[in-house]
A and B are shown apart, each in its own frame.
Chain A
């Protein structure tokens, strides 16, 4: 048997000599391999390739790949020999998902972990503390009432105008004003703190509003006197 014939038959010989080759062909190939070092070297290479190939992970081809292959086959066949397109058996989404092989590199794993931590940190920062109740985030201090922003803005604007004029007041009058304003603000701070720990306390809510009204009345009085 010539080397050319032996080399072309080696693949069948390695994969399944009993399946693909006759007994006489097998005997002739083995007789030639006993005397030809070149053909023995080719057989050895093919055998190593086959062994290495068996150790590679299996990849399930995409569904689209088979479709493309089937189309190509069909176009290459003569019309008379074209048959109904063979299709892959229909797989459900779960079967397709299970059959997929995912590979994730270390950098990808680190990035996914960092993203998860950032999402957790952002989500927990917005969880309200204490008992259930609505809080209204505003500026640096949490508003406890829906109208509190507007109330505070109005009071601060008016107080700023009064503070600008206060330097010209009689010192005793100025001291009285500051003292009373301080007492109101201290009580307001205390009430807000209680409401913060229990946002659903309607009595405390009313107290906070009463104290804001108290502060507003104090400013009303000063403006009435036109000082």
Chain B
């Protein structure tokens, strides 16, 4: 019959098998909720489009300029599916189908041109020099940090928009929120033409040396310096704050 030594060995092997089985199952479950994919792109001309349904999108320009777009997505609920493809021209498109909440964290070359869209959720973009279009259909805040982009267009229906970056010469910056606030921080020596409209809120123009062309309770058209960059700020129900960065 079996000796004590044989029984101990048998118990050990069984425990090891069970442990391996557990790890395997757990690993596969984590894989089902996370999504990762990497694309090689040309840093001089690369584009990224993200279409999300509900969930956040965070895009950060990597200082190393690696020539890669690294997509990490985390599905929080539902049965949403993430599909990422690349066109022959090199543009990367990420699209969520089905129903569910997916949060994205994407690392990109700083020069990438972005087109970000989510029906509901937040958008964060940092450290980029390419053009940016960010849109939230319903609720969610949009935050821009350390931008040196020539063109930024942002819209949220029910969220705040916060912009910190530079107003480049001949740049265009359109920031709109239906019921949230719009906050913009430019360097003190910025040179821009401003059109700010807030029918229901207040407008704090932050001490820039503005030369007013038109000024009413609801609309301000003014220029700072030569007015080379164009800045268009609008909120139907919120307030506008413009401040100078030291």
Contact = CB atoms under 8 A, between A and B. Distances in A.
Given A180-B138, A225-B51, A210 B234 contact: yes
Interface in B102-154: 117, 119-120, 135, 137-139
B137 A184 contact: no
B155 A187 contact: no
A41 interface: no
B178 A203 contact: no
B117 A221 contact: yes
B158 interface: yes
A180 B180 CA distance: 13
A173 interface: yes
A76 interface: no
B178 A180 contact: yes
Interface in A188-227: 191, 203, 206-207, 210-211, 214, 217-218, 221-222, 224-225
A221 B135 contact: yes
Interface residues of B, number: 24
A176 B117 contact: no
B99 A222 contact: no
Given A170-B99, A173-B119, A217-B155, 5 more contacts: A176-B119, A180-B137, A183-B178, A203-B216, A214-B236
A206 B236 CA distance: 12
B197 A207 contact: yes
Interface in A132-155: none
Interface of A: 170, 173, 176-177, 179-180, 183-184, 187, 191, 203, 206-207, 210-211, 214, 217-218, 221-222, 224-225
B139 A176 contact: yes
B189 interface: no
Contacts of B181: none
B199 A180 contact: no
B178 A214 contact: yes
Given A180-B178, A217-B155, A224 B117 contact: yes
Contacts of B137: 180, 218, 221-222
A136 to B, nearest CB: 24
B179 interface: yes
